[in-house]
Structure 1
Amino acid sequence: MTRYILLRDRTRNWRRPRVPLGAGIAPEDADAPADPQIEVAELTPDDLRETAGDRDLLTIQPAMPTRLLTPEPMDELRACDMVPGWGLRATGADWTPMSGAGVRVALLDTGIDAGHPCFAGVEVTARDFAGTGIADANGHGTHVAGTVLGRDQGGTRIGVARGITDLLVGKVLADNGRGRSEDFLNALLWTLQEKAQIVGFALAFDTSAQIETLVEEGYPAMLATAAAVHAYRGNLRICEMLLMMIGGGQVPLMLGAVGNDSLRTIAPEFETGPVAPAAAAGVLAVGACGPGEEGFCPAPFTNAGAAVVAPGVGIISAGPGEGLRPLNGTSMALAHAVGIAALWVEKMRAEKERVTAPMLATRLIRSATYEPLCPGASYIDCGRGLIQAPEGSLD
């Protein structure tokens, strides 16, 4: 039997026409709110065909593994070369009057060490979707959260938006960095229901792991590859459908790390595009940059196709116990982007501007600049450029 994800609308307002599953779904009443529901079922081929005949079922897709966007090695950097807070200065977060106060942020990651002193004064609402407890034995989620909003540690500033006091944490990856797509999708639905204004994640639907699993189950390699691609596309579609169903001004700004799969240090052509779910429509994909001799340069590991870039090399943030540690990765860039987005929410509210995901994304993209980037930086690598914190005052 195969594990499937089923998407429904409890209100039954969203229905599908008599066409293939997932095609052309739409609400009968465009103004009525949806109530998405995700189910998981083990189905035989016969079960699948019978279930697919249910008109209340919006789509049914194979579940698949997910993986953490594992931080990149630090071999090329010496500890003495790592400058705390360089990303804050590069984005203007160290001088903006905004702090992110009053903004509700959600992170979908490996959990959090809520007892770390950098989270003092932060109300953390956590939920475990991975089934291993909300504690973060991996450390990735804690590092990301520290960059987003961490309080100063021993005179070292690590947090972009230190005024945030309301943090949602969905643990969607186990301590080994592995998870399941249904856990991510359920966590995403949870953040929508909890009215987060910004949601950040740094994970990928793991096609390679899906292929390996299917081959172990006896699938021919070619069929396993085709089936894994089908599952990848289907999970991406569910993610997009959830955002579409919530719709209007209720959808938070979705920020996803573009991925660390490129190997440009070996050959310039060893690069690839955004991982899913960062590649989903309605998600702003964030790439990583780092210091270079002539400006900030795209990190050699960052995938192409980001909408914007943010600092992601040698980023010092919350580490094990009460300490700090440096990490490389588009996850670190994603954390900067989440914090910068929170600063923009505060700025827009101060200006009496309605805050919606499209309007917030527009502010982030328009803030981006190529001015501090190295001469070889391109749209393929950096999108609209390096994002910037809002200027001005709160008066």
Structure 2
Amino acid sequence: MTPRPGRTARPTATRLLLALAAAGTTCVLAAPPAAADPARSLDWALGALHAQQAWQVTKGAGITVAVLDTGVDGTHPDLTGQVLPGKDEVGFGAKRGDSAWARHGTGMAAIIAGHGHGPGDEDGVLGIAPQSRILPVRVILEDKDPLRQKARSSRGDALPAGIRWAVDHGADVINLSLGDDSATAAPVAAEDDAIQYALDKGVVVVASAGNGGDAADRSSYPAAYPGVIAVAAVDRHGEHASFSTHRWYASVAAPGVEVVIADPDRTYYNGWGTSAASAYASGAAALVRSANPRLSPAQVKQVLEDTTQDKPKGGRNDDVGTGMIDPAAAVAAARKLKPAPVRPVPAAYAHTYFPPGPAPEAAAEDGSRLLGDGVATAFAATGAVLVALSGLIWFRLRRG
């Protein structure tokens, strides 16, 4: 169900640098100092997103981001203390410690709320909202889980159930780094209803736009549901990634090429995909919510769209939405906004377009009479005359 990001294992700094060079990056990367951590040294996304500037205001404290995914390894050194007790809506498949458990979800959680590790937290992945908390909800299995096909057929309610559970257990933002853009993909009423439930409760919903740009380029759900912040992927130059689905529902874009992904096996990966882009956008939404907690989901979406960098010609296109997110600018704009209702209240008419009718006579004791006794009697007499006349006319016509 999920468009899984590309992943290439790189356990050492030398191998990671060689991998990026072989991948054809146009940006020349200098070798990091011997004491530097390769994961941190090669994480270009935080600089592109002006994270340090945003962190002068907030790092996401007080905000809970639900990661609906393959599970999250809360013991990972980059996430210790950040992961809340969660829910497994699947109920079978790989277990903790298996190679096919929680890899994708752990990577997304670290992009959102990773705090690094080691002396001064200078090693590992630093998330875009490092003081936010992660609420893990397992709704899908890893691609390589032997039971994944069974999960598709027997637990189709896992995603909508997981969304509702996350809302009811304190989520402020929901990250959906998953989707269905297959040939049979179509909106599912239960998923749409669950997302609208989240939005009605004031919870921001973010989803990956899809990884079908190189193929059929079909719409992906849940990204295409109303109210969702659908996130496309861009590279380090702000250019649309060829694999990123370009469709009408794209809201914004975020880094999704050659980003550093944390794994439960304590290895870091060079990854790609709109999954990562969605995680960065969810972290940005957490920063916005932390700066102004009372903003509605629609306002959070709007402020992320309005403050993007590298805006396309005309202000928006299907490749990148309104452009790559700028969390620092979004946080600054959010602090100036006045919170609005979750669902806008329809404006009352300024004038009465039809004058009131005549005041009715006093009603009968049983409340059923709307006309005065005199008027009713007159109507009754007139009716009797008309009935008699119609009978006489019918009789004469019949004789004729």
TM-score by length of 1: 0.66
Task: Say whether the 8 Å CA contact 1:146–1:318 is kept in structure 2.
Answer: yes
**Which sits farther off after the overlay, 130-139 or 104-113?**
130-139
Question: For the structure 1 residues 274 and 100, does the alpha-carbon distance in structure 2 shift closer, same or farther, using more than 3 Å as the test?
Answer: farther
Task: Say whether the 8 Å CA contact 1:199–1:253 is kept in structure 2.
Answer: yes
Q: Measure how far apart 1:238 and its partner are.
A: 2.4
**Residues 258-297 of structure 1 deviation map (CA, whole Å, 9 limit, x = unaligned):** 111121xxxxxx5514301111112111010002xxx321
SS in 1 for 2:85: strand
Give the Cα separation in 2 of the matches to 1:308 and 1:380. 9
What residue identity is the alignment partner of 1:162? P
Give the Cα separation in 2 of the matches to 1:242 and 1:138. 23
Aligned to 2:392: none
Give the Cα separation in 2 of the matches to 1:313 and 1:91. 14
Which of the residues 150, 169, 177 maps onto 1:194? 169
Which of the residues 281, 284, 288 maps onto 2:229? 284
Task: Say whether the 8 Å CA contact 2:175–2:207 is kept in structure 1.
Answer: yes
Question: For the structure 1 residues 153 and 123, does the alpha-carbon distance in structure 2 shift closer, same or farther, using more than 3 Å as the test?
Answer: closer
**Which sits farther off after the overlay, 180-189 or 126-135?**
126-135
Which of the residues 68, 89, 98 maps onto 1:129? 89
Aligned to 2:395: none
Aligned to 1:384: 322
SS in 1 for 2:51: coil
Give the Cα separation in 1 of the matches to 2:303 and 2:246. 22
Task: Say whether the 8 Å CA contact 2:199–2:297 is kept in structure 1.
Answer: no
Identity over aligned pairs, percent: 25
1:240 and 2:186 aligned: no
**Residues 83-117 of structure 1 deviation map (CA, whole Å, 9 limit, x = unaligned):** 62211111111332220000011011010111100
SS in 1 for 2:261: strand
Give the Cα separation in 2 of the matches to 1:246 and 1:99. 24
Question: For the structure 1 residues 246 and 336, does the alpha-carbon distance in structure 2 shift closer, same or farther, using more than 3 Å as the test?
Answer: closer
Give the Cα separation in 1 of the matches to 2:238 and 2:306. 18
Give matches, 1:1-395, under 5 Å: 67-72=1-6, 77=23, 84-96=42-54, 97=56, 98-132=58-92, 135=96, 137-154=101-118, 155-156=122-123, 157-164=125-132, 166-176=133-143, 178=148, 179-180=151-152, 181-205=156-180, 207=182, 228=184, 232-233=186-187, 235=188, 237-245=189-197, 248=200, 250-263=201-214, 270=215, 272-291=217-236, 295-305=237-247, 306-349=250-293, 354-370=294-310, 379-391=317-329
Structure label with greater radius of gyration: 2
Give the Cα separation in 2 of the matches to 1:286 and 1:78. 24
Give the Cα separation in 1 of the matches to 2:229 and 2:283. 14
Task: Say whether the 8 Å CA contact 1:108–1:171 is kept in structure 2.
Answer: yes
Question: For the structure 1 residues 201 and 279, does the alpha-carbon distance in structure 2 shift closer, same or farther, using more than 3 Å as the test?
Answer: same
Question: For the structure 1 residues 302 and 368, does the alpha-carbon distance in structure 2 shift closer, same or farther, using more than 3 Å as the test?
Answer: same
Task: Say whether the 8 Å CA contact 1:111–1:134 is kept in structure 2.
Answer: no
Q: Measure how far apart 1:204 and its partner are.
A: 2.2
SS in 2 for 1:259: coil
Structure 1 alignment gaps of length 5 or more: 1-66, 209-227, 264-269
SS in 2 for 1:145: helix
**Residues 108-157 of structure 1 deviation map (CA, whole Å, 9 limit, x = unaligned):** 10101111001122142211111136746251111110100111245245
Give the Cα separation in 2 of the matches to 1:92 and 1:262. 27
Aligned to 1:219: none
Q: Measure how far apart 1:77 and its partner are.
A: 2.2
Question: For the structure 1 residues 206 and 382, does the alpha-carbon distance in structure 2 shift closer, same or farther, using more than 3 Å as the test?
Answer: closer
Aligned to 1:33: none
Task: Say whether the 8 Å CA contact 1:240–1:282 is kept in structure 2.
Answer: no
Task: Say whether the 8 Å CA contact 2:128–2:280 is kept in structure 1.
Answer: yes
What residue identity is the alignment partner of 2:129? A
Give the 4+ runs in structure 1 shifted more than 3 A: 73-76, 78-83, 133-136, 175-180, 205-208, 243-248, 375-378, 391-394
Task: Say whether the 8 Å CA contact 1:104–1:196 is kept in structure 2.
Answer: yes
**Which sits farther off after the overlay, 78-87 or 120-129?**
78-87
Task: Say whether the 8 Å CA contact 1:274–1:285 is kept in structure 2.
Answer: no
SS in 2 for 1:296: coil
Give the Cα separation in 1 of the matches to 2:319 and 2:198. 31
**Residues 24-77 of structure 1 deviation map (CA, whole Å, 9 limit, x = unaligned):** xxxxxxxxxxxxxxxxxxxxxxxxxxxxxxxxxxxxxxxxxxx12111366862
Task: Say whether the 8 Å CA contact 1:278–1:284 is kept in structure 2.
Answer: yes
What residue identity is the alignment partner of 2:42? P
Please report the RMSD computed on the Cα atoms of aligned residues, expressed in angstroms.
Answer: 2.8
What residue identity is the alignment partner of 2:238? F
What residue identity is the alignment partner of 2:224? A
Question: For the structure 1 residues 333 and 134, does the alpha-carbon distance in structure 2 shift closer, same or farther, using more than 3 Å as the test?
Answer: farther
Give the Cα separation in 2 of the matches to 1:73 and 1:245. 34
